[in-house]
Amino acid sequence: MTLPDGPDETLPVSLPDLPRPDEDSRIAAEVKALVREGNLEAARDRFSALVRRQQRRASRIAYHFLRDAADADEAVQDSFIKVFSHIESFREDLPFEVWFTRILINGCLDRQKARRRRGRWAVSLPEAEPGERSWVESVPAAGLSPEEALLLRERRAQIAAAVGKLPERQRTVFLLCHYEGCSSREVSGITGLNESTVRVHLFRAVRRLRSLLGGNL
């Protein structure tokens, strides 16, 4: 599933009544105005505030999608660059977060596809399993004994593998709804799916995860 990436015209016609523009949207509107004036230096400086506000959330989303820190890092960077490049197509009457998340998720999905294509031709290492790459980089939580840290890692690996087995739409909806706390209306705005379809995907995702993980969920 590739979500409509572009700007405003790709948004669904029956756009849900999304919340009114917030602080991020206000900053984005300022950046847009500065770019239009040709004051790129000032626009860049203002944009840095937007990056600061959104980057943690963006990194989380990208990491949950890609399960690889370096890949997620690059996806986030690319998304911000893309946002700045296309800031003139940002609609001030819509939340910036929705627009930005859509760009980010499309970037993540593209990367996943590229990875899958590469995976078809590349021979993986014997111990490398899907979703395991990031565990090398992940630092065990402070205060845990080695056994606890190992169990935590195993649990995370199981969950990541189960989430990775979800169909693309279910996974997207689940990650946005559950991990990021987006409402079905917001997910509808991000993905372009109908709100009721979002809910159906969410329920199916939860059901499937329960069956995949059993007692581990």
Binding site for other proteins (CB under 8 A): 40-41, 43-44, 47-48, 51-52, 55-56, 59-60, 63-64, 69, 72-73, 76-77, 80-81, 84-85, 134, 137-141, 155-156, 159, 177-179, 181, 183-185, 195-196, 199, 202-203, 206-207, 210, 213, 217
- Nearest distance from C-beta of residue 2 to other proteins, angstroms: 24
For other proteins, the closer of residues 27 and 59 by Cβ is 59
- Nearest distance from C-beta of residue 128 to other proteins, angstroms: 18
- Nearest distance from C-beta of residue 6 to other proteins, angstroms: 19
For other proteins, the closer of residues 44 and 117 by Cβ is 44
Cα distance between residue 52 and residue 23, in whole Å = 13
Cα distance between residue 152 and residue 134, in whole Å = 14
Contacts of 97-100 with CB under 8 Å at 24 or more apart are 97/22, 97/24, 97/25, 97/54, 97/186, 98/18, 98/186, 98/189, 98/190, 99/7, 100/24, 100/54, 100/58
- Nearest distance from C-beta of residue 123 to other proteins, angstroms: 27
For other proteins, the closer of residues 115 and 156 by Cβ is 156
Distances (CA, A) of 190 to 44, 128, 141, 184: 25, 33, 32, 10
For other proteins, the closer of residues 4 and 158 by Cβ is 158
DSSP character for 216?
A: G
Question: Are the C-beta atoms of residues 179 and 61 closer than 8 Å to each other?
Answer: yes
DSSP character for 7?
A: S
For other proteins, the closer of residues 114 and 141 by Cβ is 141
- Cα end-to-end distance, the chain, whole Å: 26
